[in-house]
């Protein structure tokens, strides 16, 4: 069987590191770093200490950083070199050129053989298997076929990478968010189509837009990386009477003109399902807040409860019967001797230049 040889001086290079393959009939292998090794990039000798590596990196990083006008590609090479040489384990693998485990590397010179793993590349090990091309003609064929320079035989195992975070929205009723609830939901994992069913515990006092995080329940990782997280965002449905403001609960309380003017007591519902008698003071204006302590929702990040805020809404009647109209006219007549509620405004109008006063209809 005729064995194919790699061309003389053939160099396998990835990023800024490379290995030169040379063969001999006795199957000895001599592997050496190519010209632009990580040491060359940082301007260091192979015996450089950790401190020297750090100093060299900082100096070159300042000089070649893109933000200061440096070359981006050069900066990437510097970063890559430092990432490997500053890590004792990666540096050890990088320095041990040609170390491999398992299999026969090339079945003689440049021919294909069984799987073999070569160590030393900063991104991980390279795995060589029987489909790896040998010789320049096969390399070019691989490029034309879209398999890359080294065909499908060279595998670069990816580093463990955590899966992406998944986010879903869970809609709950006002009462469910106030008291807390457990809901069963089914989530589909995009990468695999797999469905997972979970019990989501919504805590008492949950807020609209609140986030519940479940570790390692999101997208699957790559290279044996752990799964991402699942984030459940709570969305609270509107309530007929109540609305939330953090742990506080707001109740809009409609009152008549007479009730707002004279004062009254009104029984109102509370968010916990009970009821409460509220005293509306005489002379209450539109938007006045009556606060009831600790009658709101449970606080999430601290002890205690929010407040119930009762907001006065004065209702102005649109259609008056004859009796109501006469009563209001009598009320207005009775107050003629009192200071006008628009006294300051009327004073301003009196002092303004005279002239025609248009009506809104004009």
Query: Both tokens of residue 294?
Result: 């600790």
For strands 100-101 and 248-255, give the pairing.
Answer: unpaired
pLDDT means over runs of 10, the chain (362 residues): 43 37 35 62 89 90 75 85 87 63 36 41 43 48 51 58 94 96 94 92 95 94 90 96 96 95 95 94 96 95 95 92 90 76 69 57 48
Predicted local distance difference test score (pLDDT) of residue 127: 44
The Cα 298–Cα 241 span in angstroms is 19
- Domain 11-155 sits in CATH at 1.10.287.110
For 234-252, b where at least 16 C-beta lie within 10 A, e where not — what string? Answer: bebeebeebbbeebbbbbe
Q: Where are the alpha helices (DSSP H) in 13-122?
A: 38-42, 50-64, 72-85, 88-95
Q: Is 143 left (phi over 0), alpha (psi -120 to 50) or beta?
A: alpha
Please report, for the chain, the start and end positions of each structural domain, with discontinuous segments joined by +. 11-155, 166-236, 245-314
User: Any idea what DSSP says for residue 340?
Assistant: P
**Which value, to the nearest 10 degrees, does the dihedral of the CA atoms of residues 40, 41, 42, 46 take?**
-30
**How do 195-202 and 181-188 pair as beta strands?**
antiparallel
pLDDT score for 33: 43
Cβ atoms 299, 311 nearer than 8 A: no
Per-position DSSP letters for 163-229, written without gaps between them: PPPEEEEEEE-HHHHHH-EEEEEEEE-TTT--EEEEEEEEPTT--TT-EEEETT-SS--BTTPPP--
Contacts of 219 (CB under 8 A, 6+ apart): 163, 164, 165, 166, 189, 190, 191, 227, 228
Q: What is the pLDDT of residue 279?
A: 96
Q: What is residue 351's predicted lDDT score, i.e. its pLDDT?
A: 63
Cβ count near 287 (within 10 Å): 10
Spell 53-89 as b/e; 16+ CB within 10 A means b: beebbeebeeebbeeeebeeeebebbbbbbebbeeee
Instruction: Give SS3 for 91.
Output: helix
- Domains 11-155 and 166-236 are alike in CATH topology: no
Q: Quote the CA–CA distance of 127 and 156 in Å, as a whole number.
A: 7
Phi, psi of 347 (to 5 degrees): -65, -40
Q: Distances from the Cα of 109 to the Cαs of 7, 14, 138, 153, 352, in angstroms?
A: 10, 21, 15, 16, 106
Assigned token pair, 96 = 């041990």
Query: pTM of the predicted model, to two decimals?
Result: 0.53
Q: 339 vs 255, 342, 344, CA distance in Å? A: 25, 8, 10
Cα distance between residue 311 and residue 314, in whole Å? 10
- Give the residues across from 30 on adjacent strands: 22
Q: CATH fold of 245-314, please?
A: HSP40/DNAj peptide-binding domain (2.60.260)
The CATH classification number of 166-236 equals 2.60.260.20
Provide the 3-class DSSP secondary structure of residue 158.
Answer: coil
């Amino acid at each position: 069987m005729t064995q194919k040889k790699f061309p003389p001086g053939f160099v396998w290079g990835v990023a800024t590191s490379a290995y030169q393959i040379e063969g001999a009939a006795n199957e000895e292998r001599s592997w050496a770093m190519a010209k632009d090794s990580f040491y060359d990039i940082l301007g260091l000798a192979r015996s450089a200490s950790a401190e020297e590596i750090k100093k060299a990196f900082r100096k070159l990083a300042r000089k070649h950083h893109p933000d200061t006008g440096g070359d981006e590609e050069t900066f990437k090479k510097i970063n890559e070199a430092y990432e490997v040489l500053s890590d004792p384990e990666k540096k050890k693998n990088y320095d041990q050129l040609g170390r491999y485990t398992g299999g026969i590397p090339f079945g003689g010179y440049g021919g294909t053989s069984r799987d073999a793993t070569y160590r030393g590349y900063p991104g991980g090990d390279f795995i060589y298997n029987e489909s790896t091309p040998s010789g320049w003609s096969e390399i070019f064929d691989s490029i034309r076929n879209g398999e890359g320079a080294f065909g499908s035989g060279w595998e670069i195992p990816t580093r463990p990478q955590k899966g992406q975070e998944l986010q879903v929205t869970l809609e709950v009723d006002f009462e469910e968010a106030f008291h807390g609830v457990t809901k069963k939901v089914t989530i589909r994992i995009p990468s695999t189509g797999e469905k997972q069913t979970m019990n989501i515990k919504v805590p008492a006092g949950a807020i609209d837009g609140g986030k519940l995080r479940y570790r390692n329940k999101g997208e699957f990782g790559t290279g044996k990386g752990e799964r991402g997280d699942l984030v459940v965002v709570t969305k609270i449905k509107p309530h007929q009477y109540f609305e939330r403001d953090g742990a506080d609960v707001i109740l809009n309380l409609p009152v008549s003109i007479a009730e707002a003017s004279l004062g009254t007591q009104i029984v109102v519902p509370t968010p916990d399902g009970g009821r409460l008698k509220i005293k509306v003071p005489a002379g209450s204006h539109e938007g006045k807040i009556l606060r009831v302590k600790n009658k709101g929702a449970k606080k999430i990040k601290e002890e205690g409860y929010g407040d119930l805020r009762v907001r006065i809404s004065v209702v102005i009647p649109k259609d008056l019967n004859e009796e109501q109209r006469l009563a209001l006219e009598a009320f207005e007549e009775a107050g003629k001797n009192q200071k006008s509620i628009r006294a300051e405004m009327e004073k301003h109008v009196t002092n303004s230049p005279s002239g025609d006063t248009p009506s809104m209809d004009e």
